[in-house]
Chain A
Amino acid sequence: MAEHSETADQTASTGAALMRAIRSFALLKESPVGVVGVTIVLFWITMALLAPVLAPFDPLATLQPFAKPGTVYAKGGTFWLGTDHIGRDILSRIIWGSRTVLVYAPLATLCAYVVGIIMGLAAGYRLGWWDLVLSRISDIILSFPVLVLYIIIIATIGASGLNIIIAITFASAPGIMRIVRGLVLDLRNREYVAAAETRGETPMYIMLVEILPNARGPLIVDACLRLGYVIITIGVLGFLGLGLPPPDPDWGGMINETRQMALAFPHMTIYPCLAVSSLILGFNLLADGLREISLRD
């Protein structure tokens, strides 16, 4: 009997968790801005996932240079957005390029968050020397112009996917650390933290189990905003030639390669630009929507 009710409880709680997830997603409906953001982001995620199916051509194949948008290719198919100076289909490159962005941007953001959260928790909860040292380190990093910092890092360690993640983590973690530290400074004075301390919990447990989950609200909103910002960064790095080495399709790289021909062949530059902007807009609107919802009730 007890066994039975136990399993029933388990199913009920899984069901409840599922319901909660659906409901929290449905909550987004209350913010029209958020819905637009989610739609744009989902659109690009679909593009990235279904790139092999959706892309009409091989993004690396040189087919017909300088084709205008809508040109019909002799061997079949249409260049809906035209081709670039060495004859690669721009639509296919944008679709495949979304994979690059949507893999590296979240990964880099995640890494930055892991580092930033660890630093922020330690500084905000331990205070004293921890706080002093970690805060000064982040002050020093934040005092560099970000772009200069990226150029120095990438130029030193070389341009590769992993190095982009390292550079972004290095430059963003201090900002995240400050947010986390501020939240922790408030949360550490709660009575449930005192209760945990007085039953002899380790600082690690208190930081990760008692404090961190309660800081998640503002952090999720910030993560969405920051994701947009990281996409810009990846674009800028690509534009500066510090992004992924060619010939892999990369939105920033596409803009850079074709910018000198932008006046004569605007389609080569404009479409990648639109792709970058729309994805960033999507993430920013999503963040706005989340914030709007979290401020209610």
Chain B
Amino acid sequence: MAETPVPPLLEIENLCLSYFTRAGEIPAVKDFSLTLRAGESVGLVGESGCGKSTVAMGIMRYMGNNGGIVGGSIKFRGRDMATLDENEIRRLRGSQISMIYQEPMAALNPSLTIGQQLMEVPLAHDDVSKAEAFERSVQMLTDVRLPDAERVMGAYPHQISGGQQQRVVIAMALLSNPALLLLDEPTTALDVTVEAGIVQLIAELSRKYDTALLYISHNLGLMLEVCERIGVMYSGEVVEEGTIDSIFTWPKHPYTHGLFGCIPLPHCDKNARPLVAIPGQLPLPHERPPGCNFGPRCTFFKGGLCDAESIAIEPVTTDDDPRHRVRCVRWKEFDADEAVVAGESKPPVEVGEPVLEVDAMQKYYEVHDHSMAALISGKSIKYVKANESLNFTARRGETVAIVGESGCGKSTFAKVLMGLESATDGEVRLEGENIADLPVQSRSTEQLSNLQMVFQNPNDTLNPSHTIGAQIARVIRKFGVETDKAKARARVLALLDTVKLPRDFAKRRPRQLSGGQKQRIGIARAFAGAPSMVIADEPVSALDVSVAAAVTELLTDIQREHKTTLLFISHDLSVVRYLADRVVVMYLGQIMERGTTDQVFAPPYHPYTEALLSAVPIADPEIEKRQIVLEGNLPSALNPPKGCPFASRCHSSLGDICDQERPPVQFAADRHAIACHIPMEELAKVEPVIKIITERAADVPPPAE
């Protein structure tokens, strides 16, 4: 590659960033180097607390009162950022360098209209007239493909959906035509089908305006789709960097390799090829080990070598990527197949008799409309149809996943099962007894202990005021497993063993535990009463990948051992494919498709399943996906489409019949149902969304040295 005379857009050399707290200096980022040219897109990937967001803040020189650059340099267009004064920095922010944050609702001011907030950008940076600013804002809203831009200009943030808000935030970031766009988890808060649209939009716009992108995310699959190069960060350092190809095909750092082992890729299987979690957890910034930060968790660790001195990043010479660099002293000896133990294969679970039968279950919420129009027309009561005629069966030992995006009614369904809400109509039979309209207060101890739940938010699932031991013991006594105090105590310790936590955790309080550990306690609590069925509502979605894998494995192991039926509620199709035996796909309170995992993940598909599959990023370059990007938003549950709920966004809608009539439930095979107007023969002809092009990459030997 010829040397270009133009200095790169962004040049970061050996950057060190620290925060200064009461506990002293905390190095957040160490020895970080990056070169970014116009139009390039580079990703930073890592788990929470690895310093990736701090890098973005450092580039913006926005480190707060207690943070600062302690070493190295950031050059933007050849100028050292450290030499700029406050005014110059302010002119740079928002005009040359823009940032897109994770939470669109928090990034927009709720008390100003979208228009006011957008126009502020050209008014502040380009010194234009109000009319001109308005013009540009409308143009930009059209560019980010918001329908009806003029109306959006006058709207307040809460009046538009989350996906639209994020488009507005993107429009705001691009209004001043920045040379560099920093994206900090730009799609993490959005649904997958919305995410797919946003990702495509950012790529198009960056091509159009030649903007350089710095993507920050924890999602390796997303990185694969949006970046040319990535840096993998661990505990404040880049441990490996290179082009997408070299990182995904020949990862050289044990951590990178470990990360791939934690992600449920299509070739994984909970029985034959289970996930391999990285043992241990991320060290706190002030407790980093000497030498390699990853040392204590590394299976390839060699005392005296890895923990001797801090390790410099060095180029990888064994492949054809000149930019592939790795921070590991033993990378040459690192042999993926040898170092990473493949997960033990386990026998599949035998599926028994039905445990849960859901029969035409409905849950409507009444909404009272007090408007004049409603009073006159006499329609003052409206119904939110949270669940509409749900039908499915879960058998003993089986894992049934309920998949759907936010607002599809999956959490309402869980509430009805748990007795926190009662069904409007239909039957839900658990072990043969109808519990559909049996509120939790009237359920017997047996019914209660038979059906327990693992909650989503690790910080919320345990009561911060009581010790772990007391909380588990309460469940044990409540369900009458053990009534004697000493025996209950012994049982608590046994449960801690089951979830692989040290016994002295019984005396700790939740705040002394990490997210993954709290979630393990949540699992222990759910299984304390030997339930026949456990509902897990997104149990790992709030956890880091390496921790999530361990928790997922734990959950399946306990389930296997106790022959428990698991109802797994999730929006993440990758985890679902890995974990579930059967899948129920929901949209707007209705079941679109249900069947075994293999059936649902292969044609014939329901068009919605097809779109979902296409939207989920997969961290495997050997997989090819058909692009299906859904337009529009989820319709309001208060006013759902008359015919098929999905008709308004469907890419293969048949027109009138879909809009007007409820789709019939067609059976592709026994217990594989699809609710769609399109004839089964047509659906069966659809090509698979996901295709594996070649053999698995890791099995292919890297080129000879």
The digit string for A192-203, where 1 denotes a CB below 8 A from any CB of B, is: 101101111100
In the assembled complex, how far is the CB of residue B248 from the closest CB belonging to chain A, in whole angstroms? 36
Note all chain B residues with C-beta closer than 8 A to A190.
460
Q: Is B440 an interface residue (CB 8 A)?
A: yes
Distance of A197 Cα from B462 Cα, bound (Å): 13
Q: Is A210 an interface residue (CB 8 A)?
A: yes
A191–B457 touching, CB < 8 Å = yes
In the assembled complex, how far is the CB of residue B524 from the closest CB belonging to chain A, in whole angstroms? 12
B465–A213 touching, CB < 8 Å = yes
A194-B420, A194-B455, A213-B466 given; A200·B441 CB < 8 A? yes
The digit string for B484-511, where 1 denotes a CB below 8 A from any CB of A, is: 0000000000000000000000010000
B464–A214 touching, CB < 8 Å = yes
The digit string for B440-451, where 1 denotes a CB below 8 A from any CB of A, is: 110101001101
Is the contact region of chain A dominated by helix, strand, or loop, or is it mixed?
helix
The B453-479 residues at the A interface (CB cut-off 8 A) are 453, 455-457, 460-466, 475, 478-479
A13-B507, A213-B465 given; A195·B525 CB < 8 A? yes
Note all chain B residues with C-beta closer than 8 A to A213.
463, 465-466
In the assembled complex, how far is the CB of residue A208 from the closest CB belonging to chain B, in whole angstroms? 11
In the assembled complex, how far is the CB of residue A283 from the closest CB belonging to chain B, in whole angstroms? 26
A192-B460, A194-B455 given; A200·B445 CB < 8 A? yes
A192–B463 touching, CB < 8 Å = yes
In the assembled complex, how far is the CB of residue B477 from the closest CB belonging to chain A, in whole angstroms? 10
Note all chain A residues with C-beta closer than 8 A to B465.
213-214, 216
Which listed residue (B456, B475, B522) contacts A199, Cβ 8 A?
Answer: B475
A200–B478 touching, CB < 8 Å = yes
A197-B440, A214-B463, A214-B465 given; A191·B478 CB < 8 A? no
Distance of A278 Cα from B383 Cα, bound (Å): 60
Distance of A198 Cα from B417 Cα, bound (Å): 10
CB closest chain-B residue, reference A16? B507
Distance of A29 Cα from B241 Cα, bound (Å): 47
Number of B residues, CB within 8 Å of A: 29
A13-B507, A191-B456 given; A197·B420 CB < 8 A? yes
A199–B464 touching, CB < 8 Å = no
* A194, A197, A199, A214 pick with most chain B CB within 10 angstroms: A199
A210–B440 touching, CB < 8 Å = no
Q: Is B419 an interface residue (CB 8 A)?
A: yes
In the assembled complex, how far is the CB of residue B284 from the closest CB belonging to chain A, in whole angstroms? 15
Distance of A200 Cα from B439 Cα, bound (Å): 10
The digit string for B233-261, where 1 denotes a CB below 8 A from any CB of A, is: 00000000000000000000000000000
* B462, B465, B525, B529 pick with most chain A CB within 10 angstroms: B465
Distance of A197 Cα from B455 Cα, bound (Å): 13
Note all chain B residues with C-beta closer than 8 A to A9.
507
Note all chain B residues with C-beta closer than 8 A to A197.
420, 440
Q: Is B418 an interface residue (CB 8 A)?
A: yes
A200–B466 touching, CB < 8 Å = no
Distance of A233 Cα from B418 Cα, bound (Å): 49
A191–B460 touching, CB < 8 Å = yes
The digit string for A168-192, where 1 denotes a CB below 8 A from any CB of B, is: 0000000000000000000000111
Q: Is B452 an interface residue (CB 8 A)?
A: yes
B461–A200 touching, CB < 8 Å = no
A13-B507, A191-B456, A191-B457 given; A198·B419 CB < 8 A? yes
A198–B418 touching, CB < 8 Å = yes
Note all chain B residues with C-beta closer than 8 A to A214.
463-465
B420–A198 touching, CB < 8 Å = yes
Note all chain B residues with C-beta closer than 8 A to A192.
460-463
Distance of A195 Cα from B478 Cα, bound (Å): 12
Distance of A37 Cα from B419 Cα, bound (Å): 50
B440–A191 touching, CB < 8 Å = no
Distance of A210 Cα from B470 Cα, bound (Å): 12
Note all chain B residues with C-beta closer than 8 A to A199.
448-449, 452, 475, 478-479, 529
Note all chain B residues with C-beta closer than 8 A to A209.
466
The A111-154 residues at the B interface (CB cut-off 8 A) are none
Distance of A194 Cα from B529 Cα, bound (Å): 16
The A201-244 residues at the B interface (CB cut-off 8 A) are 201, 209-210, 213-214, 216
Note all chain A residues with C-beta closer than 8 A to B456.
191
A13-B507, A195-B525 given; A200·B440 CB < 8 A? yes
CB closest chain-A residue, reference B525? A195
Distance of A132 Cα from B699 Cα, bound (Å): 67
Distance of A9 Cα from B493 Cα, bound (Å): 15
Note all chain A residues with C-beta closer than 8 A to B479.
199
In the assembled complex, how far is the CB of residue B101 from the closest CB belonging to chain A, in whole angstroms? 24
Note all chain B residues with C-beta closer than 8 A to A201.
478
B461–A198 touching, CB < 8 Å = no
Which listed residue (B448, B455, B463) contacts A200, Cβ 8 A?
Answer: B448
Note all chain A residues with C-beta closer than 8 A to B507.
9, 13
A195–B455 touching, CB < 8 Å = yes
A213-B466, A214-B465 given; A198·B448 CB < 8 A? yes
Note all chain B residues with C-beta closer than 8 A to A216.
465
Note all chain B residues with C-beta closer than 8 A to A198.
418-420, 440, 448, 451-453
Distance of A213 Cα from B419 Cα, bound (Å): 26
Distance of A195 Cα from B418 Cα, bound (Å): 10
In the assembled complex, how far is the CB of residue A6 from the closest CB belonging to chain B, in whole angstroms? 9
Distance of A200 Cα from B446 Cα, bound (Å): 11
CB closest chain-A residue, reference B445? A200
B420–A195 touching, CB < 8 Å = no
Distance of A201 Cα from B465 Cα, bound (Å): 17
Note all chain A residues with C-beta closer than 8 A to B475.
199
In the assembled complex, how far is the CB of residue A126 from the closest CB belonging to chain B, in whole angstroms? 13
In the assembled complex, how far is the CB of residue A257 from the closest CB belonging to chain B, in whole angstroms? 48
In the assembled complex, how far is the CB of residue B621 from the closest CB belonging to chain A, in whole angstroms? 38
The digit string for B191-218, where 1 denotes a CB below 8 A from any CB of A, is: 0000000000000000000000000000
Distance of A106 Cα from B40 Cα, bound (Å): 67
Distance of A132 Cα from B460 Cα, bound (Å): 28
In the assembled complex, how far is the CB of residue B578 from the closest CB belonging to chain A, in whole angstroms? 24
Distance of A216 Cα from B463 Cα, bound (Å): 13
In the assembled complex, how far is the CB of residue A55 from the closest CB belonging to chain B, in whole angstroms? 43
CB closest chain-A residue, reference B475? A199
Note all chain B residues with C-beta closer than 8 A to A200.
440-441, 443, 445, 448, 478
A191–B448 touching, CB < 8 Å = no
In the assembled complex, how far is the CB of residue A64 from the closest CB belonging to chain B, in whole angstroms? 57
CB closest chain-B residue, reference A190? B460
In the assembled complex, how far is the CB of residue A204 from the closest CB belonging to chain B, in whole angstroms? 12
The digit string for B618-649, where 1 denotes a CB below 8 A from any CB of A, is: 00000000000000000000000000000000
In the assembled complex, how far is the CB of residue B461 from the closest CB belonging to chain A, in whole angstroms? 5
In the assembled complex, how far is the CB of residue A214 from the closest CB belonging to chain B, in whole angstroms? 5
Note all chain A residues with C-beta closer than 8 A to B448.
198-200
In the assembled complex, how far is the CB of residue A104 from the closest CB belonging to chain B, in whole angstroms? 31
Which listed residue (B443, B445, B449, B461) contacts A195, Cβ 8 A?
Answer: B461
A191–B455 touching, CB < 8 Å = yes
Note all chain A residues with C-beta closer than 8 A to B466.
209, 213
Distance of A231 Cα from B288 Cα, bound (Å): 52
In the assembled complex, how far is the CB of residue A198 from the closest CB belonging to chain B, in whole angstroms? 5
* A9, A13, A197, A213 pick with most chain B CB within 10 angstroms: A197
The digit string for A48-70, where 1 denotes a CB below 8 A from any CB of B, is: 00000000000000000000000
Sample of 9 A–B contacts (CB below 8 Å): A190-B460, A192-B460, A192-B461, A194-B418, A194-B453, A194-B455, A200-B440, A200-B441, A214-B465
Known: A192-B462, A194-B455. 13 other contacts (CB 8 A): A191-B455, A191-B460, A194-B453, A195-B461, A195-B522, A198-B440, A198-B448, A198-B453, A199-B478, A200-B448, A201-B478, A209-B466, A216-B465
What is A's interface to B at a CB cutoff of 8 Å?
9, 13, 190-192, 194-195, 197-201, 209-210, 213-214, 216
What is B's interface to A at a CB cutoff of 8 Å?
418-420, 440-441, 443, 445, 448-449, 451-453, 455-457, 460-466, 475, 478-479, 507, 522, 525, 529
| A-B interface, 6 closest residue pairs, ranked by CB to CB distance from nearest | A213-B465, A191-B455, A192-B463, A191-B460, A200-B448, A191-B461
